[in-house]
Structure 1
Amino acid sequence: MTLILFNKPYDVLSQFTDRGSPTTRATLSDYIDVPGVYPAGRLDRDSEGLLLLTDDGRLQSRIADPKFKLPKTYWVQVEGVPDDDALHRLRSGVMLNDGLTRPAEAERIAPPDIWPRTPPIRVRQSIPDTWLSLTITEGRNRQVRRMTAAVGYPTLRLIRWRIGDWMLDDLAPGAWRAA
């Protein structure tokens, strides 16, 4: 069994080919040359961080399928400074257009010591930003971004730091290692 931890850079698709796009976009094949592995779950093109790849279909299902409730931790840079009420709402579950989310673990954190993003996020001098650690146990489409927006704090940058027991640690963007 092969399991790969990959730090997906911003603007890279979580698949090995880019079908249907008139322009060529970066894919996993630009970074990983290991036959027979497939991503266990997704990470949006505009998100960064941990993506697991495996050649084991059972493990892939266990990681990706929401019924297993595998916790995923994200470091989220949001616009503004979320108050205690916003954090409480994230912890209680947020009503989205596709229903109420499961409760999340949510806390403000110090800005993490991480790589710069290319291109950088948009910065507005008059509006501060804050980093949150948000742990969810489901995987709806763009869920973290929709949750922070629903409580009034749009996401500027999103990095998946952990999936279950696997963490990014010191893995550089575009780098991978076998678990």
Structure 2
Amino acid sequence: MLIAFNKPFNVLCQFTDRSQPPRATLAGFGLPPAVYAAGRLDYDSEGLLLLTDDGGLAHQLTDPRHKADKTYWVQVEGSVGDDQLQALRRGVELNDGPTLPAKIERLDPAPALWARDPPVRFRKTVPDAWLAITLREGRNRQVRRMTAAVGLPTLRLVRVSMGAHALDDLQPGQWREIR
């Protein structure tokens, strides 16, 4: 079984949380029993999370050797210059080594997304922009670290696809079985 789930902002990619106070988890969304997340999506990120009850499929979906692209729509703080886009496309140096080259596109106009709760802080004097970033690797908080490395802090991050699987019209907290 393979499930596409639109993970809301500030929800853990697991079914339990031992922290105090406990945080929202996948347990609150009526997902089928015995599925687990194939990969991660940070607590403060949103969008497509694939869940499965098949360990082999989970490995195929997440192992970098299978080179499944992951695409994110990223709202960044600041005006995006061509030099910053080129740096991201080439790959940037992070504290755990250089990233692989990434596919980067400006999203103009901004994508039509659901409202986030809580909303992203809006500042009249600070511009923002949206980028589509496609990666073939999946390091911890990689997109956020990449945009920060070129002077563009991430304000909002939404994963819209993993390999052949896309978020499509799923709203936050909704899921569907992929056949």
User: Is TM-score (shorter-chain normalized) higher than 0.5?
Assistant: yes
Query: Given the alignment, which residue of 60, 74, 90 partners 1:76?
Result: 74
CA RMSD in angstroms comes to: 0.8
Query: What's the counterpart of residue 54 of structure 1?
Result: 52
Tell me, yes or no, if structure 1 residue 88 matches structure 2 residue 86.
yes
Q: CA deviation at 1:33?
A: 3.2
Aligned to 2:43: 45
Give the match for residue 177 of structure 1. Answer: 176
Runs of 4+ in 1 over 3 A off after TM superposition: none
Matched with 1:105 is 103
Q: Percent identical across equivalent pairs?
A: 62
Select which of 23, 26, 31 maps to 1:25: 23
Runs of 5+ consecutive residues of structure 1 not aligned to the other structure:
none
Q: How many angstroms does 1:41 deviate by?
A: 0.2
Residue 166 of structure 1: CA displacement?
0.5
TM-score (norm 1): 0.97
Number of residue equivalences:
177
TM-score, normalised by the number of residues in structure 2: 0.97
Kindly provide the amino acid, as one letter, of the partner of residue 159 in structure 2. R
Q: Give 1:51 deviation, angstroms.
A: 0.1
Task: Give, in whole Å, the separation in 2 of the partners of 1:169 and 1:22.
Answer: 34
Secondary structure (helix, strand or coil) at the match of 2:65 reads helix
SS in 1 for 2:24: coil
SS of residue in 1 equivalent to 2:30: coil
- Counterpart of 1:162 in structure 2 is 161
Identify the match of residue 67 of structure 1 among 57, 65, 68. Answer: 65
Deviations 1:110-146 (A, max 9, x none): 2011101000111111111000000000000000000
